[in-house]
């Protein structure tokens, strides 16, 4: 008897590349957890509003939104505990951090008004990941939920979002300021007049590339963050601790496409390097053809049955059947191959549905696969 | 007269076959005698795998007749750019390999994306023996969100970076992108819901916001329709031969999925649908150069019909 993949955990983190249906998988998993009695929150950083679409909600903001029992009941899903969804807004999450940690109003205004800052959260690599872990920590600490399902931003590597906090802190660090505005940072005063950035060899060179004005804006931005590092650092340390604890499970989410399987293997290795283990592999949209549907005898029977139709119709049907059977067998082989490469990790297979998953009906259809547990 | 753009940007949702289409475009252009640079972005050398050639990494390499390949990444591209600007390796090492400066460069809005577009721009202008070194550059751009961010980068840099060399470069790159005689964007989508949503999103950003041109749209993995009487006929016969039930069921499910896919495609803007080319689903254990050549056949026919707008 297998156990649900969230058993004994408070946080489930789903990682995978883009285009595999991570958001759908996370939402179906959360529906299953709530249906089995856990107070569940599903969280996604999702600019495409996929989760909102999937849950049939209008877009929702930086706070949790409850999915009502009545919304799922028509599809035969009985929630035994409340289910919430949340879509952290990256820019707003950063603004909230600044508001929390800024030592005074003057600094708060200076940062929020800075041009570099305004673009920072939208263009900086890792800012989505940072917002995700930041929010994760906040909702975890609230103690409101038995289980949090985190749908991570699509990424080229599994540890992007683990490293995001330290990376962000890295370039906000004080020595950045000291290098760029060396002679004046020592004065310790936040004053634009004091920022003469063209003084050192390094800042001269960088200035030649980017323009001295850019350096000045940047120095202003980085100086603005002075005094806030401790708060950031403390947060980052706690998130890190949480992710490494036994309360968190990591799942790999993949499609059946072999092209993605190298990434899955790499993700597993990257997690292992961080001392993190993969709890389960979830393969989405597995094509399945019943074994009797494309045997030589069946194909013969199909040809005979379609004899009366227009010429060519039987051939079209046969080649379509053969194609579907090939696709299904490709999927089976690919999954077996992947499972072997991953060291036979527990696996949950979600079938391809007739239509795309974009509504509660499909989520309800998928949720039962998580109730059976992993094999 | 055939449309002979200098830059083809290929984008779409992750996993829809962008790299396949980009590689097929490169093959099709090369077949009609144009010298092609196929440029991937953080591609992990997938294009070289498809083309069956040695991985090139970030070193621009001639890999097939008329085809050169490069897999760009922000770091190496920045290094190249700095070396072009400063001329001295020692300056690069002393300044740009400094950890603090690296952090600064990461923090400057859109710098990485701009650097890679800058490389494309540089090779578009590059000349050899008194003619352009490349007739066309096929840019295998990142997936939707990142591609839009990338194409926005010149604008972001012009808005945030005060006057200076970087801003001037951003202006020139912008000029290339917006020149509808030189640059065109190809969207790749499958008939699924999310890829179509993202195709619509790209069209909006590219046409309305960035003022670029959308060229041929590639509808990948399109499934051909079956005659409608097949499933009912099988169902009737299934009453006597139970084996036919499963077969009928499989074909029915296939039709339902296909129709859902066609419905999704109908949500594409009219112009995209009109200028679209279908690439049939290729089912087989191995997707090799042969499959790619077959797709290049389809693409080549489409390019022959392509006209300037």
- Suggest the residue from A59, A197, A355 to mutate for an interface test with chain B (most B CBs closer than 10 A): A355
* Residue of B26, B8, B42 lying closest to B187 (CA atoms): B8
**Residue A243: pLDDT above 90?**
no
Residue window 141-170, chain B: list those with CB within 8 Å of chain A.
Answer: 143, 145, 149, 156, 160-167
CA atoms within 13 A on the CB side of B212: 28
pLDDT on residue A193: 40
CB contact under 8 A, B251 and A206: no
pLDDT for residue B161:
72
- Which pLDDT belongs to residue B9? 98
Q: What is the three-state SS of B211-269?
A: CCCECCEEEEEECCCCCCCHHHHHHHHHCCCCHHHHHHHHHHHHHHHHHHHHHHHCCCC
The alpha-carbon gap from B305 to the nearest alpha carbon of chain A, in Å, equals 30
Fold for domain A11-290+335-371?
Rossmann fold (3.40.50)
CB within 8 Å: B100 and A176: yes
User: Is the CB of B33 inside 8 Å of chain A's CB atoms?
Assistant: no
- Asked if residue A365 lies in contact with residue A299, where contact means CB atoms within 8 angstroms, the answer is no
φ, ψ for residue B213, nearest 5 deg: -105, 135
- Cα separation, A249 vs A26, in Å, equals 13
B73 touches chain A (CB under 8 A): no
DSSP string for B286-303: ---HHHHHHHHHHHHHHH
Q: Which residue of B has its CA nearest to A53?
A: B194
Q: Where are the strands (E) in A260-327, listed by range?
A: 278-286
Residues in chain B: 309
Size of interface A-B (CB pairs under 8 A): 199
What pLDDT, on the 0 to 100 scale, is given for residue B45? 87
Domain layout of chain A by residue ranges: 11-290+335-371, 291-326
pLDDT of residue A61: 65
* pLDDT at site A351: 92
Cα–Cα distance for residue pair B287/A312, rounded to 1 Å: 27
B-chain residues within 8 Å CB-CB of A179? 98, 100-101
Dihedral sign, Cα of residue B186, residue B192, residue B193, residue B194: negative
Residue B33 confidence (pLDDT): 96
Q: Among A141-155, A256-270, A355-369, B263-277, where is mean pLDDT lowest?
A: A355-369
Separation CA B175–CA B132 (nearest Å)? 18
Q: How far apart are CA A130 and CA A161, in angstroms?
A: 6
Q: Does B222 touch chain A (CB under 8 A)?
A: no
State the Cα–Cα distance between residues A303 and A312, nearest whole angstrom.
10
- A307 reaches B (C-beta below 8 A): no
Each domain of chain B, given as residue ranges in start order, spans: 7-225+268-305
Distance from CA of A209 to the nearest CA of B (A): 6
Query: pLDDT of B50-88, one tens digit each?
Result: 999 999 999 999 999 999 999 998 888 888 887 776 666
Q: Using a CB-CB distance cutoff of 8 angstroms, which residues of chain B are in contact with residue A321?
A: 247, 250-251
Sign of CA dihedral B51, B56, B60, B61: negative
Our CA-based measurement puts residue B227 at a distance from the nearest CA of chain A, in whole angstroms, of 7
Query: Which of B110, B229, B243 shows the shortest C-beta gap to A298?
Result: B243
Helix/strand/coil for B158: helix
Return the number of other C-beta atoms located less than 10 Å from residue B16's C-beta. Answer: 27
Nearest to B74 by CA among B187, B166, B150, B170: B150
- In this prediction, residues B232-242 reach a mean pLDDT of 90
Q: Which is more confidently placed, B158 or A168?
A: B158
pLDDT at B285: 59
pLDDT at A204 over 60: yes
- Answer with the residue of higher pLDDT: A100 or B175: B175
Q: Which chain B residue's Cα is nearest to A202? A: B95
Please name which of A333, A259, A323 lies closest in space to residue B17, comparing C-alpha atoms.
A259
CATH number of B7-225+268-305: 3.40.50.300
Residue B279: which of B302, B308, B250 has the closest Cα?
B302
Residue B189, min C-alpha distance to chain A (Å): 12
**In this predicted complex, what is the ipTM?**
0.79
Question: pLDDT by residue (tens digit) across A16-72?
Answer: 887 788 888 999 999 999 999 999 999 987 666 666 766 766 666 678 889 888 888
What pLDDT, on a 0 to 100 scale, did the predictor assign at position A54? 67
pLDDT at A206 (0 to 100): 64
DSSP helix/strand/coil, A66: strand
**Burial class of residue A189 in the structure, from the number of CB atoms within 10 Å of its CB (0-12 exposed, 13-18 middle, 19+ buried):** exposed
Q: CA separation (Å) from A55 to A42, A146, A358?
A: 11, 20, 8
Q: Is the predicted pLDDT of residue A7 greater than 80, yes or no?
A: yes
Q: Tell me what percent of the residues of chain A surpass a pLDDT of 70.
A: 73
| Whether pLDDT at A185 is above 60 | no
Please, what is the average pLDDT of chain A? 80
Of A16, A19, A336, which to mutate for an interface test with B (greatest number of B Cβ within 10 Å)? A19
Percent of chain B with pLDDT over 90: 66
Q: How confident is the model at residue B184 (pLDDT cuts 50, 70, 90)?
A: very high
Shortest distance, CA B307 to any CA of chain A (angstroms): 32
User: Which residue would you say has higher pLDDT here, B90 or A147?
Assistant: A147
Which chain B residues contact residue A324 at CB under 8 A?
Answer: 250-251, 254
Total Cβ atoms within 10 A of residue A206: 28
Question: Is A337's pLDDT higher than 70?
Answer: yes
pLDDT at A80 over 60: yes
Place of tokens 């872990």: A133
Choose the most confident range, by mean pLDDT, from A212-221, A359-368, B80-89, B200-209.
B200-209
Sequence-distant (6+) residues with CB within 8 A of A10 are A140, A145, A146, A147, A148, A247, A248
Q: Is the dihedral of CA B284, B288, B292, B297 positive or negative?
A: negative
Confidence bin at A192 (pLDDT 50/70/90): very low
pLDDT of residue A276 exceeding 90, the answer is: no
Q: Model confidence at A184, in pLDDT bands (50, 70, 90)?
A: very low
- pTM summary value: 0.80
- Tokens encoding A373: 């547990």
């Amino acid at each position: 008897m297998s156990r649900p993949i969230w058993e004994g955990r408070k946080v489930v983190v789903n990682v995978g590349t883009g285009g595999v249906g991570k958001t759908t998988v996370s939402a179906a998993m959360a529906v299953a957890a709530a249906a089995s009695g856990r107070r569940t929150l599903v969280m996604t950083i999702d600019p495409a509003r996929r989760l909102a679409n999937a849950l049939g909600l209008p877009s929702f903001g930086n706070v949790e939104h409850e999915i009502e029992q009545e919304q799922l009941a028509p599809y035969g899903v009985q929630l035994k505990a409340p289910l919430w969804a949340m879509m952290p807004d990256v820019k707003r999450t950063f603004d909230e951090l600044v508001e929390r940690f800024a030592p005074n109003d003057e600094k708060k205004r200076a940062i929020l008004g800075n041009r570099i800052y305004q673009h920072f959260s939208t263009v900086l690599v890792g800012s989505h990941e940072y917002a995700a872990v930041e929010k994760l920590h906040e909702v975890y600490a609230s103690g409101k939920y038995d289980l949090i399902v985190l749908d991570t931003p699509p990424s080229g590597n599994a540890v992007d979002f683990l490293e995001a906090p330290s990376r962000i802190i890295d370039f906000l660090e004080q020595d950045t300021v000291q290098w760029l505005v060396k002679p004046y940072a020592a004065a310790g005063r936040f004053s634009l007049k004091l920022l003469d950035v063209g003084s050192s060899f390094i800042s001269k060179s960088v200035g030649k590339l980017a323009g001295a004005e850019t350096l000045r804006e940047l120095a202003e931005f980085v100086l603005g963050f002075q005094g806030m590092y401790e708060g950031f650092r403390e947060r980052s340390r706690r998130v890190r601790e949480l992710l490494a604890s036994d309360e968190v499970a990591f799942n790999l989410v993949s499609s059946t496409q072999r092209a993605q399987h190298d990434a899955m293997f790499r993700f597993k290795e990257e997690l292992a390097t961080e001392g993190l283990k993969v709890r389960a592999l979830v393969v989405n949209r597995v094509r399945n053809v019943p074994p009797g549907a494309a045997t030589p005898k069946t194909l013969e029977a199909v040809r005979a049955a379609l004899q009366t139709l227009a010429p060519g119709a039987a051939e079209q049907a046969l080649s379509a059947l053969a194609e579907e059977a090939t696709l299904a067998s490709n999927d089976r082989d690919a999954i077996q191959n992947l499972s072997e490469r991953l060291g036979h990790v527990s696996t949950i297979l979600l079938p391809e549905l007739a239509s795309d998953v974009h509504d509660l009906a499909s989520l309800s259809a998928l949720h039962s696969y998580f109730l059976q547990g992993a094999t | 007269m055939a449309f002979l753009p200098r830059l083809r940007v290929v984008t779409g949702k992750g996993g829809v076959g962008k790299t396949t289409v980009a590689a097929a475009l490169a093959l099709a252009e090369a077949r009609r005698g144009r010298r092609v640079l196929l440029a991937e972005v953080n591609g992990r050398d997938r294009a070289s795998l498809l083309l069956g050639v040695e991985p090139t990494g970030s070193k621009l390499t001639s890999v097939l007749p008329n085809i050169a390949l490069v897999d760009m990444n922000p770091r190496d591209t920045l290094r190249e750019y700095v070396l072009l600007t400063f001329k001295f390796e020692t300056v690069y090492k002393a300044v740009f390999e400094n950890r603090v400066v690296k952090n600064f460069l990461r923090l400057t809005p859109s710098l990485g994306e701009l650097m890679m577009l800058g490389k494309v721009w540089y090779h578009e202008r590059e000349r050899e023996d008194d003619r352009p070194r490349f007739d066309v550059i096929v840019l295998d751009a990142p997936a939707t969100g990142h591609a839009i961010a990338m194409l926005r980068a010149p604008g972001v840099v012009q808005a945030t970076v005060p006057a200076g060399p970087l801003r001037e470069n951003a202006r020139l790159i912008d000029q290339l992108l917006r020149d509808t005689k030189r640059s065109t964007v190809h969207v790749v989508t499958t008939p699924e819901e999310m890829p179509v949503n993202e195709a619509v999103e790209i069209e909006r950003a590219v046409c309305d916001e960035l003022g670029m041109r959308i060229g041929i749209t590639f509808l990948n993995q399109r499934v051909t329709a079956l005659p409608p009487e097949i499933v009912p006929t099988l169902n009737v016969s299934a009453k006597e031969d139970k084996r036919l039930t499963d077969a009928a069921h499989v074909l029915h499910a296939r039709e339902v999925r296909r129709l859902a896919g066609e419905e999704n495609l109908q949500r594409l803007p009219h112009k995209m649908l009109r200028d679209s080319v279908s690439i049939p689903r290729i089912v087989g254990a191995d997707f090799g150069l042969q499959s790619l050549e077959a797709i290049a056949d389809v693409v080549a026919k489409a390019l022959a019909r392509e006209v300037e707008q």
